[in-house]
C-alpha cells in the first residue's frame, strides 16, 4: 500500500499526496518528445513552467479534465438489513412506492434510484465478507474496493487532488474489512478530530501580497505555455491546453477568494460519544473536503457488522445493531427506526451538497456528485448476499436514469458488482478491467446510468 492513494487511520494518516500527475510528468514527457531536452529547457524553463503551479496544487482545484459526467463520488456504507421491510413493494421502474424504511428518502425522489435483488455471487455472505465493495470474496487475489478503484482511475487520467481518496467512520474496536487495496484491508479514520486535522491541516489564509505574487507567476506560466503550444502536435497541444485551463482555474479561484480559496473548513469538531454520531460528523467533513476540492472520492462507514452499540434517541432503547436489532427483536422496530435515521443522514448529506457551489464546472456539488448507499451484505437477517441493494442519488452530471417520482430497479439476480461498476462509469470510466470478479460481468447496469 502506498501512502497517498488514500487517507485513513495509520501511523502516517496525515501524510498526503500533492502530485501534479498528468499536468507535470506526462506533459513534460510529451513536450520533450517533440523538442530536445535542452531546447525545451531553453525555450521554457522547467522552474518557470512548473514551480509556481506546484506551490499551489495542494490547495488548487484538481486538474480540469473532461472525464465523464460526475466529478465526485460519495460512498455511504452500512450493514445489511431486512429485505422484507426494506423493499419498496409496488414500485415500478418510474414510480417509487416507499416502504417505512425507505420513506425518509422521498425528498430526493426526482434524483433517486433504488436497486435490489442483485446477487453478491457468494462474495458478501456472512460476517466480514469482503465482497460488499470489492465484488470478491475470501478467495479473491486482487481485491480493491470501488472507492480505491475510482481514485486510481482519476489519478491515471490526470486528476490530482491532495487526497486521492478519503476513508472515514466505522467502529475502531472491530476488525476492518470493508475497504481494500492490493488485496489488503484499509482502515478508515475513526476520530472526527483526527479526520479534520488530516483533511484540513494547512488550509490557512494567504496574504494579499502572496496572492499578487502567485497570480503574477501564474500569468507568466500561462503565457509561456501558450508560446510552446505552436511547437506541439495536436495530441500534445490538447494536453497543454488542459494544463493552461487548470492554471487559469487556480488564478480565478485565488482572485475571487482574496487568497484563502472558496473553501471554508469551519471549526474542528468535538469527539462524538457514539460511533454512529461520529460517522454523521465524518459525512459532513467529507462533503466539506469536496467543497475544497481536496478529494474527489470519499467513503463513510456507519457502524460495523460485528458490533455497533446504538444509543440514538430516535431508535429507542439502546442495543447492539446486529445482535439485537437484526437478530433479537421481533418485530424489528429498532432496526426500522435505525434505517430511517440512516436515510435521514443520507438526505442531509444531499442537502448539504445542494447548498455548496462546486469548485469547478459550475452548479452545486450535488449536481456533480454521485451518491451511493451500499452495504456489506444484502440480507443481514439470514446472513447472505443473495439480495444486495443500493441507493443512488445526486445530480451525477446527469448520469443517473431518473424519474420525477423516483426509479426502482429489480436487478434480477445480476452480480452486484455491476452496480459497483456504475460508480466508475458515472465518473467517466467505462473500462472496469481489474475490478471485481473476472468471472462476473464488468458491464454497468444500463437501468441505473446512461
Q: What is the pLDDT of residues 165-193, one digit of tens each?
A: 999 999 999 999 999 999 999 999 999 99
The Cα 37–Cα 31 span in angstroms is: 9
Q: Which pLDDT score is estimated for 201?
A: 83
- Per-residue pLDDT, averaged over 119-142, amounts to 90
Q: Which pLDDT score is estimated for 441?
A: 96
Handedness of CA 395, 396, 401, 407 (dihedral sign): negative
Q: Which pLDDT score is estimated for 26?
A: 39
DSSP 8-state class, residue 259: T
Q: Which pLDDT score is estimated for 73?
A: 98
Q: How confident is the model at residue 7 (pLDDT cuts 50, 70, 90)?
A: confident
Are 1 and 187 in contact by the 8 Å Cβ rule? The answer is no
Q: How confident is the model at residue 37 (pLDDT cuts 50, 70, 90)?
A: very low
Q: Which pLDDT score is estimated for 361?
A: 79
Decide if pLDDT at 54 tops 50.
no
Q: How confident is the model at residue 15 (pLDDT cuts 50, 70, 90)?
A: very low
Q: Which pLDDT score is estimated for 23?
A: 34
The Cα 283–Cα 274 span in angstroms is: 14
Q: How confident is the model at residue 450 (pLDDT cuts 50, 70, 90)?
A: confident
Decide if pLDDT at 420 tops 60.
yes
The Cα 255–Cα 292 span in angstroms is: 16
Decide if pLDDT at 42 tops 50.
no
Joined together, the cell numbers standing for residue 394 give 445526486
Q: How confident is the model at residue 360 (pLDDT cuts 50, 70, 90)?
A: confident
Q: Which pLDDT score is estimated for 50?
A: 35
Top pLDDT among 56 and 189 is at 189
Q: Which pLDDT score is estimated for 64?
A: 40
CATH 3.40.720 residue ranges in the chain? 72-203+268-426
Q: Which pLDDT score is estimated for 228?
A: 64
What confidence tens digit (pLDDT) does each residue in 279-312 have?
A: 999 999 999 999 999 999 999 999 999 999 999 9
Closest to 437 (Cα-Cα) out of 415, 411, 410: 415
DSSP assignment of 304-315, as one string? -SS--EE--TTT
Q: Which pLDDT score is estimated for 243?
A: 56
Closest to 450 (Cα-Cα) out of 146, 69, 76, 127: 69
Top pLDDT among 225 and 273 is at 273
Decide if pLDDT at 324 tops 60.
yes
What confidence tens digit (pLDDT) does each residue in 255-266 have?
A: 444 333 457 888
Q: Which fold would CATH assign to domain 72-203+268-426?
A: Alkaline Phosphatase, subunit A (3.40.720)
- Provide the mean pLDDT of the chain: 81
Decide if pLDDT at 21 tops 50.
no
Top pLDDT among 256 and 340 is at 340
Which residues are 375's β-sheet partners?
78
Decide if pLDDT at 72 tops 50.
yes
- Per-residue pLDDT, averaged over 70-93, amounts to 97
The Cα 185–Cα 178 span in angstroms is: 7
Decide if pLDDT at 35 tops 50.
no
- Per-residue pLDDT, averaged over 364-379, amounts to 96
Q: How confident is the model at residue 5 (pLDDT cuts 50, 70, 90)?
A: low
Q: Which pLDDT score is estimated for 217?
A: 47
Integer CA distances (angstroms), 81 to 102, 243, 419, in order: 12, 46, 18
Joined together, the cell numbers standing for residue 211 give 496572492
Q: Which pLDDT score is estimated for 202?
A: 61
Q: How confident is the model at residue 224 (pLDDT cuts 50, 70, 90)?
A: low
40 CB-side CA count, 13 A? 17
Q: In 394-443, which ranges are E strands?
A: 407-410
Are 179 and 299 in contact by the 8 Å Cβ rule? The answer is yes
Calculate ∠ Cα 195-187-305, nearest 5°. Answer: 110
Decide if pLDDT at 16 tops 50.
no
Q: Which pLDDT score is estimated for 56?
A: 36
Query: With pLDDT > 70 as the criterion, what percentage of the chain qualifies?
Result: 72
Distance in Å from the first CA to the final CA of the chain: 33
Backbone angles phi, psi at 59, to 5 degrees: -120, 20
Q: How confident is the model at residue 245 (pLDDT cuts 50, 70, 90)?
A: low
- Least confident residue range of 45-49, 58-62, 319-323, 360-364: 45-49
Decide if pLDDT at 47 tops 70.
no
Residue pointed to by grid coordinates 487556480? 250
Q: Which pLDDT score is estimated for 318?
A: 97
Amino acid at each position: 500500500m502506498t501512502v497517498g492513494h488514500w487517507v485513513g487511520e495509520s501511523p502516517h494518516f496525515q501524510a498526503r499526496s500533492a502530485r501534479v500527475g498528468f499536468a507535470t510528468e506526462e506533459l513534460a514527457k510529451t513536450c520533450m518528445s517533440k523538442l530536445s531536452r535542452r531546447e525545451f529547457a531553453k525555450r521554457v524553463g522547467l522552474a518557470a513552467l512548473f514551480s509556481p503551479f506546484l506551490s499551489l496544487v495542494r490547495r488548487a482545484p484538481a486538474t480540469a479534465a473532461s472525464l465523464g459526467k460526475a466529478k465526485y463520488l460519495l460512498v455511504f456504507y452500512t450493514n445489511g438489513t431486512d429485505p422484507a421491510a426494506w423493499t419498496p413493494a409496488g414500485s415500478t421502474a418510474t414510480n417509487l412506492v416507499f416502504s417505512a424504511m425507505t420513506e425518509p428518502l422521498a425528498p430526493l425522489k426526482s434524483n433517486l434510484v433504488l436497486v435490489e435483488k442483485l446477487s453478491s455471487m457468494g462474495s458478501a455472505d456472512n460476517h466480514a465478507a469482503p465482497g460488499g465493495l470489492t465484488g470478491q470474496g475470501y478467495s479473491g487475489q486482487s481485491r480493491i474496493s470501488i472507492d480505491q478503484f475510482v481514485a486510481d482511475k482519476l489519478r491515471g487520467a490526470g486528476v490530482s487532488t491532495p487526497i486521492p481518496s478519503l476513508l472515514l467512520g466505522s467502529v475502531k474496536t472491530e476488525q476492518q474489512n470493508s475497504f481494500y487495496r492490493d488485496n489488503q484491508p484499509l482502515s478508515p479514520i475513526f476520530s472526527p478530530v483526527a479526520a479534520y486535522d488530516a483533511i484540513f491541516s494547512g488550509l490557512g489564509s494567504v496574504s494579499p501580497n502572496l496572492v499578487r505574487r502567485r497570480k503574477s507567476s501564474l500569468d507568466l506560466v500561462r503565457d509561456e505555455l501558450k508560446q510552446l503550444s505552436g511547437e506541439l502536435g495536436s495530441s500534445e497541444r490538447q494536453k497543454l491546453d488542459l494544463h493552461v485551463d487548470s492554471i487559469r482555474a487556480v488564478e480565478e479561484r485565488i482572485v475571487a477568494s482574496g487568497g484563502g480559496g472558496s473553501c471554508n473548513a469551519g471549526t474542528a469538531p468535538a469527539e462524538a460519544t457514539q460511533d454512529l454520531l461520529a460517522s454523521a460528523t465524518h459525512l459532513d467533513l467529507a462533503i466539506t473536503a469536496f467543497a475544497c476540492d481536496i478529494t474527489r472520492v470519499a467513503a463513510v462507514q456507519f457502524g460495523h457488522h460485528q458490533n455497533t452499540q446504538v444509543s440514538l434517541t430516535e431508535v429507542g432503547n439502546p442495543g447492539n445493531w446486529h445482535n439485537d436489532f437484526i437478530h433479537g427483536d421481533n418485530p424489528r422496530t429498532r432496526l426500522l427506526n435505525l434505517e430511517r435515521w440512516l436515510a435521514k443522514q443520507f438526505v442531509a448529506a444531499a442537502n448539504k451538497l445542494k447548498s455548496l457551489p462546486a469548485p469547478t464546472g459550475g452548479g452545486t456539488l450535488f449536481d456533480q456528485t454521485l451518491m451511493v448507499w451500499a452495504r456489506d451484505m444484502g440480507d443481514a437477517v439470514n446472513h447472505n448476499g443473495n439480495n444486495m441493494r443500493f441507493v443512488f442519488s445526486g445530480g451525477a452530471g446527469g448520469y443517473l436514469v431518473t424519474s420525477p417520482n423516483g426509479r426502482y430497479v429489480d436487478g434480477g439476480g445480476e452480480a452486484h458488482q455491476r452496480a459497483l461498476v456504475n460508480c466508475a462509469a458515472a465518473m467517466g470510466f467505462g473500462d472496469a478491467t481489474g475490478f471485481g470478479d473476472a468471472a462476473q460481468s464488468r458491464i454497468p447496469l444500463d437501468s441505473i446510468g446512461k
